[in-house]
């Protein structure tokens, strides 16, 4: 069985038959013929798919797949992306699953997707809410980079996602140093990078991305927002992911830190803002002046001293 074929074979076939009908209902008889199982077995498999969150409507003329723009199974993607997609109905963490898949000898970049994450994490192991309707995925990358340049992947990814969302939905999405996306000053997306090294080079880089799409992350505890909330309607997660994967791959085909930083700055919401940056042992407050070609944040403190901050959590005042 292919590593990205994690549905039972019959359910995979049923979904493909429904998906390729272009929204038209498909009778139980036709599905039975395509799968080689009885109509009762077809009904049981469809029931299981619905319980897993797939929106399938039963009609007098057959079964109809709803909301195909939000299906993220490999066969829903263009041919050049299908072998890269690893879809799971539920995972503890796409980051942890990505590590397992990478160790199976993956030879190309991959994208591990979960409809729901039960133990997802953000920076500093903070919990990240990952309810159904969001876009939760981890990229498995094998960049030809030394560890000190691994940060370029984060900056490239956040700038690419901001660009994709601005282009698709005409939204003013801003990047926040070092790796968040903001919309109307609220958190729309977060990124988390983890890497494994071999000798003096990156062996694997795992880039986890959580994007609030059709979920409702707003609460008194978290200043978050989703695309659905901002736009007043649901949107296609598949369209977002296809655009992002294609753009990101083109941007990292030749790693140029200065160019990556330049594109990131075009989308910045941090430079020029009053910020509070928390490192492992200190808190710095002041104005963000710039991000240099090493990805470090340049902050002029309230004491008048300009500092270069390599790592930390940044909060806009």
Q: Where are the domains of the chain?
A: 9-66, 74-266, 274-316
- Residue 122: the pLDDT is 59
Does 122 show up as a binding residue in the annotation? yes
**What was the pLDDT predicted at 139?**
97
Class of domain 74-266: alpha beta
* pLDDT score at 4: 47
Which structure tokens are listed for 216? 């409702």
Mean pLDDT by runs of 10 across the 317 residues of the chain is 55 91 93 93 92 89 91 94 92 93 82 89 62 94 93 96 98 95 95 92 95 85 88 96 97 90 96 94 95 95 95 90
Residue 186's DSSP bridge partners are: 183
Distance CA 173, CA 164 (A): 9
So what's the pLDDT on residue 271?
Answer: 97
pLDDT at 69: 84
pTM higher than the cut 0.75:
yes
List all residues 6 or more positions away from 232 whose beta carbon is below 8 Å from its beta carbon.
Answer: none
Q: Do the annotations mark residue 121 as ligand-binding? A: yes
Separation between Cα atoms, residue 296 and residue 294, nearest integer Å: 6
**Architecture in CATH for domain 9-66:** Orthogonal Bundle (1.10)
Q: How far is it, in rounded angstroms, from Cα 111 to Cα 30? A: 32
- Determine if residue 313 is left, alpha or beta; phi over 0 gives left, psi from -120 to 50 gives alpha, anything else beta: beta
The reply, when asked if residue 39 is annotated as ligand binding, is: no
Long-range contact set of residues 242-248: C-beta below 8 Å, sequence gap at least 24: 242/77, 242/78, 242/81, 243/164, 243/167, 243/168, 244/160, 244/161, 244/164, 245/81, 245/84, 245/111, 246/81, 247/160, 247/163, 247/164, 248/139, 248/156, 248/157, 248/160
* Nearest residue to 212 via CA among 192, 240, 193: 240
The reply, when asked if residue 184 is annotated as ligand binding, is no
Check whether 263 is labelled as a binding-site residue: no
Question: In CATH terms, is domain 274-316 a member of 2.30.30.100?
Answer: yes
**Could you give the CA distance from residue 262 to residue 143 in angstroms, rounded to a whole number?**
20
CA atoms within 13 A on the CB side of 103: 8
């Amino acid at each position: 069985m292919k590593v990205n074929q994690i549905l039972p074979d019959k359910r995979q076939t049923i979904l493909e038959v429904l998906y390729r009908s272009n929204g038209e209902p498909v009778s139980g008889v036709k599905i039975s013929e395509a799968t080689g199982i009885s109509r009762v077995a077809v009904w049981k498999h469809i029931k299981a798919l619905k319980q897993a969150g797939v929106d399938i409507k039963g009609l007098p003329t057959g079964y109809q797949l709803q909301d195909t723009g939000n299906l993220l199974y490999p066969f829903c993607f263009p041919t050049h992306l299908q072998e890269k997609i690893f879809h799971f109905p539920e995972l503890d963490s796409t980051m942890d699953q990505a590590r397992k898949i990478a160790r199976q000898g993956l030879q190309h970049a991959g994208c591990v997707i979960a409809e729901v994450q039960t133990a997802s994490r953000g920076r500093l192991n903070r919990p990240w809410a990952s309810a159904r309707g969001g876009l939760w995925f981890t990229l498995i990358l094998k960049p030809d980079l030394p560890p000190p340049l691994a940060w370029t992947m984060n900056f490239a990814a956040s700038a690419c996602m901001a660009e994709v969302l601005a282009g698709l939905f005409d939204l003013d999405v801003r990047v926040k140093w070092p790796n968040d996306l903001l919309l109307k000053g609220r958190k729309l997306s977060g990124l988390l990078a983890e890497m494994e090294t071999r000798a003096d080079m990156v062996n694997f880089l795992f880039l986890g991305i959580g994007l609030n799409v059709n979920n409702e992350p707003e609460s008194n505890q978290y200043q978050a927002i989703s695309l659905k909330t901002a736009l007043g309607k649901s949107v296609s997660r598949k369209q977002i992911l296809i655009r992002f994967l294609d753009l990101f791959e083109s941007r990292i085909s030749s790693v140029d830190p200065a160019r990556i930083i330049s594109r990131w700055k075009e989308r910045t919401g941090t430079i020029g803002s009053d910020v509070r940056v928390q490192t492992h042992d200190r808190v710095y407050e002041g104005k963000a002046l710039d991000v240099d070609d090493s990805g470090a944040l340049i902050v002029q403190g309230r004491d008048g001293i300009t500092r270069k901050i390599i790592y930390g959590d940044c909060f806009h005042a």
